[in-house]
Amino acid sequence: MEIRNIAIIAHVDHGKTTLTDCILRHTGAVTAKEDRERIMDSNALEQEKGITILAKNTSVKYKGTRINIVDTPGHADFGGEVERVLSMTDCTLLLVDAFDGPMPQTRFVLGKSLQLGHKPIVVVNKVDREGARPGFSVDKVFDLFSDLGATEEQLDFPIVYASAKQGWAVNNLSEVPGANIEPILDMVLAHVPPVKRDSDKALQFQVTALDYNEYVGRIAIGKIYQGTMKKGADVTLAKTNGTTANYKITKLYGYEGLTRYEIDEAGSGDIVAMAGIPDVFIGDTVCDMGNPLPLPAIQVEEPTVSMFFMVNNSPFAGKEGKFVTTRNLRERLDRELETNVALRLEETEDKDRFKILGRGELHLSILIENMRREGYELQVSRPEVIIKHNEAGEKIEPYETLVMDLPDQYTGAVIQELNRRKGELTGMDAHTSGITRVEYIIPTRGIIGFRGHFISETRGEGVMSSRFLRFDKYKGEIPGRKNGALISMDSGESTAYALWKVQERGDLFIEPQVSVYPGMILGMNSRDSDLEVNPVREKKLTNVRASGSDEAIRLVPPKKLTLEQSIEFLDDDELLEVTPQSLRLRKKVLDASMRKRSSGGR
């Protein structure tokens, strides 16, 4: 049976996972029990957030051909997932929204695909969307191919128009939409080269993903580049650091739809999973016994943002978490490093404090959310960009391309804020629908904390996305949060009466009957300075009867911050306490007098 290996790539929310669902349904690769919306998003966080976080592979059969499909993340923060799995494939389906056209992440993933020599098939998705501009999108895609240095052969890309949500595709917009997406699958068979079956050569299997099973141990997932892999065979593991070791393959798995099933043998071109090597890592090569032929290591772009992960030392430490010690935290981070290739860990002088480097705020916040769901308790600091020095000794910092689609009436306020954050306007394009696209090049420092302001300023109607561009000259100081914090001066349980008095000072993050401690942040001050307040004060009771009814206590509903919003809110002198049950903002120095001394009396 012939094999085609493809990856589906696109900007976030352009329909990759929905298209994969259509392919699985059309080819009968999923059962009625397995069928649901966004079938491939198996992770609980992926289903909640509606985005793909981890790259996943599946396999379908169509017209006598096996098509191995890799569904990739669309968010820039998970670019490490894309970089390591594209090498397994021979071609890509590039999805582009018919309304949005190419977005920042489109450039990133397409550039990686072109570098590997792929000849992408362009799928213009959501052509049924109101205001869709398929012609505009195709022109912009061609311009993007040219900007990325595509060859003449790559520039002659085939195009399919589709509505993955409705489950149809056509080769030409003049055609009447059919009832299926066969035009896309037919295009794959016609334009994707079949895998060369070099099964008689020496084995080369490169690991691109890891899984774990409590019965068989670590499972390595990857592509067999050449040779044959057999269950029970003795093999040599060639590690990326140059060392080798011998092992036996205890289990071998193939893929069919959503199912991973045991097989006895697989040949070149197959994407498989294998067990039996306890210390295998991403990028390692499995070879024939005594014949190590390592493949080039998988190259992943460097991290741009760092955060400190610390053992929780607040007054409420250990009350809600299951794993609270330094050893627990270290073991969990080491385990994450094994599979998350874009993550780095740096030791600090404090044994209870770890510096974690990643690709962005979302990349790190997903790790934090997973840890709290597993029962971990920790504290994290404000995200900081990674500053480097060039050959001339000058400070350089990461810059990003920022693209926003927002209603015309909000553009002035957003542009003013981005200019304050040292951004540089590179383009504006007004749509006929009253939406303006604004493009900026801005230091990553300027984007940290901007998303919440953007959502508030555009009344939730704006859409923004960014992508790492390059390291460039340091821009100097960038103003941080405009507002100060409302800080608790006492411990106990918050009361409605006390919060009623406090809410006049700003926006509250907590409601009554919440346990608080001194130094804990209760809300955002309406002014630019911090303010200490008493949230536990109770109303004094007297035996004097009031002539009229007491003034009614009316509380404004508190602003409940998500994990991402809490991280965005943080200032340099603040921490976020994360437990399985709670998110608490706090000052690094809890004691008010010591805090004033350390801040110079601010």
The pair of three-digit structure tokens given for residue 169, joined into one six-digit string: 């595709």
Q: Rounded to whole angstroms, what are the CA distances from 461 to 7, 184, 435, 457?
A: 31, 33, 10, 9
DSSP conformational letter for 200: T
For 328-344, what is the mean pLDDT?
84
Whether pLDDT at 51 is above 70: no
Whether pLDDT at 50 is above 70: no
The per-residue pLDDT for range 385-437, each reduced to its tens digit, is 989 888 888 999 999 888 888 888 888 999 999 999 999 999 888 876 788 88
Q: How confident is the model at residue 290 (pLDDT cuts 50, 70, 90)?
A: confident
CB 52 within 8 A of CB 40: yes
For 337-341, what is the mean pLDDT?
76
The per-residue pLDDT for range 232-287, each reduced to its tens digit, is 999 999 988 888 999 999 999 988 876 788 999 988 888 899 999 988 888 889 99
What mean pLDDT, rounded, does the chain reach? 84
Tracing tokens 């990028």 back to the chain, one arrives at: 283
- Helix pair 411-420, 450-457: axis angle to 10 deg: 160
DSSP-derived 3-state class of residue 105: helix
Q: Which residues contact 222 (CB under 8 A, 6 or more apart)?
A: 88, 205, 206, 207, 208, 209, 271, 272
CA 579/CA 530 separation, integer angstroms: 25
Q: How confident is the model at residue 14 (pLDDT cuts 50, 70, 90)?
A: confident
Whether pLDDT at 602 is above 80: no
The per-residue pLDDT for range 151-160, each reduced to its tens digit, is 898 889 999 9
The per-residue pLDDT for range 512-521, each reduced to its tens digit, is 999 999 999 9
For 304-330, what is the mean pLDDT?
91
State the pLDDT at residue 46. 46
CA 469/CA 446 separation, integer angstroms: 14
Quick one: which of 488, 485, 466 has its CA closest to 572?
A: 485
Whether pLDDT at 53 is above 50: no
Q: Which of 46-60, 397-411, 447-461, 534-548 has the lowest mean pLDDT?
A: 46-60
Determine the residue type at 480: G
CB 351 within 8 A of CB 325: no
CA 319/CA 422 separation, integer angstroms: 43
Please tell me which of 88-92, 259-263, 317-321 the model is most confident about, judged by mean pLDDT: 317-321
Q: How confident is the model at residue 44 (pLDDT cuts 50, 70, 90)?
A: low
Neighbours of 48 (CB within 10 A): 10
Whether pLDDT at 184 is above 70: yes
For 571-582, what is the mean pLDDT?
92
Q: How confident is the model at residue 231 (pLDDT cuts 50, 70, 90)?
A: very high
CB 385 within 8 A of CB 304: yes
CA 502/CA 497 separation, integer angstroms: 9
Quick one: which of 602, 557, 560 has its CA closest to 583?
A: 560
Q: How confident is the model at residue 76 (pLDDT cuts 50, 70, 90)?
A: low
Kindly compute the dihedral angle of the four CA atoms of residues 295, 297, 299, 304, in this order, to the nearest 10 degrees: 170
Q: Which residues contact 238 (CB under 8 A, 6 or more apart)?
A: 244, 284, 285, 286, 287, 292, 293, 294
The per-residue pLDDT for range 460-481, each reduced to its tens digit, is 888 887 878 889 999 888 887 8
CB 101 within 8 A of CB 140: yes
CA 90/CA 98 separation, integer angstroms: 25
For 331-342, what is the mean pLDDT?
82
Quick one: which of 599, 553, 548 has its CA closest to 572?
A: 599
Residues annotated within the binding site for GTP are 13-18, 125-128
Whether pLDDT at 217 is above 60: yes
CA 206/CA 220 separation, integer angstroms: 9
Whether pLDDT at 528 is above 70: yes
* Domains, the chain, with CATH or none: 2-191 (3.40.50.300), 204-288 (2.40.30.10), 305-387 (3.30.70.870), 389-473 (3.30.70.240), 485-561+585-598 (2.40.50.250)
Residues annotated within the binding site are 13-18, 125-128
CA 189/CA 573 separation, integer angstroms: 57
Q: Which long-range contacts (CB under 8 A, 24 or more apart) does 345-348 make?
A: 346/306, 348/308
The per-residue pLDDT for range 116-137, each reduced to its tens digit, is 888 899 999 888 888 788 888 8
